[in-house]
Amino acid sequence: MEPFVETWKAIAFALGRSERWCRYMARRTDDPLPVFKVGGIVRLNQRDLEAWLARERARSLAGRAAPPSQARAGGVALAVVP
């Protein structure tokens, strides 16, 4: 396996997502997709990608583990019904 994934198209294919989503994730401020440019070519290191995916999975599972029982929206209490 190559140590790098190059081009947005290849990164999108490796993640099973669109190029647009990958670019968005690379631009976000909170734990962005760890891409970097070498000249005019975008690259993603495989080890960095695996670490990033592990963090994203952990964040996703942590969000599902403790859902809020009630939320307030515009002065109306919303209850989550199982």
Angle between helices 8-15 and 19-27 (to 10 degrees): 100
pTM of the model: 0.68
3 state DSSP class of 46:
helix
CA 74 to chain centre: 30
List, for residues 2-58, the tens digit of each pLDDT value.
788 999 999 999 999 999 999 999 999 889 999 999 898 999 999 999 999 999 999
Tokens of 2: 């190559």
How many domains, in total, are found in the chain? 1
Determine the structural domain holding residue 63 and report its residue range: 4-79
